[in-house]
């Protein structure tokens, strides 16, 4: 089976602050077909996100498949508060990059 990257299938992939102790991620699709394809593949799940980001599943506070918007949203607890010493991304806006290359099987 062929594979495509998540960045090819999604319209928007982004991350941002969700308060001082969390970063939230949005993966939004243009259409139901790609949304359903990614959901059914199991490649974007709580477990796969934990592995991709090198965190325990307990650090993922929320994982939501929001069908009305063709979106998958999840939130990760930060290692340290936003803006504290050692925080490399105060706004949480650069944390989505590992999602871009996530491979999803697609029908040929």
The domain that holds 34 is classified in CATH as 3.30.70
pLDDT at residue 38, rounded to an integer: 98
Domain-located, residue 46: yes
pLDDT score for 108: 84
Q: Decide if 105 is inside a domain.
A: no
Q: Is residue 66 part of a domain?
A: yes
**pLDDT 10s digits, 34-73:** 999 999 999 999 999 999 999 999 999 999 999 999 999 9
Do residues 3 and 105 touch, judged by C-beta distance below 8 A?
yes
**Residue 107 domain-assigned (yes or no):** no
Return left, alpha or beta for 5; rule: phi > 0 is left, psi -120 to 50 is alpha, else beta.
Answer: beta
**Rounded to two decimals, what is the model's pTM?**
0.93
The distance from CA 81 to its chain's CA centroid, rounded to whole angstroms, is 20
pLDDT at 1 over 90: no
- The answer on pLDDT for 74 being more than 90 is yes
**Per-residue pLDDT, 8:** 98
Range of the domain at 11: 2-82+91-99
Look at residue 108 and give its three-state secondary structure: coil
Residue 78 in domain: yes
The dihedral built from the CA positions of residue 28, 31, 36 and 41, taken in this order, carries a sign that is: negative
In a domain, residue 17? The reply is yes
How many folded domains does the chain comprise?
Answer: 1
Residue 1 DSSP symbol: -
């Amino acid at each position: 089976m062929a594979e495509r990257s998540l960045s090819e299938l999604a319209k928007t992939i982004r991350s941002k602050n969700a308060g001082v102790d969390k970063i939230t991620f949005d993966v939004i699709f243009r259409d139901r077909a790609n949304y359903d394809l990614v959901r059914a593949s199991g490649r974007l799940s709580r477990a796969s996100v934990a592995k991709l980001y090198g965190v325990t599943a307990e650090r993922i506070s929320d994982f939501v498949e929001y069908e009305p918007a063709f979106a998958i949203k999840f939130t990760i607890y930060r290692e340290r508060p936003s803006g504290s010493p050692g925080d490399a991304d105060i706004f949480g806006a650069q944390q989505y990059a590992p999602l871009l290359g996530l491979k999803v099987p697609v029908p040929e």
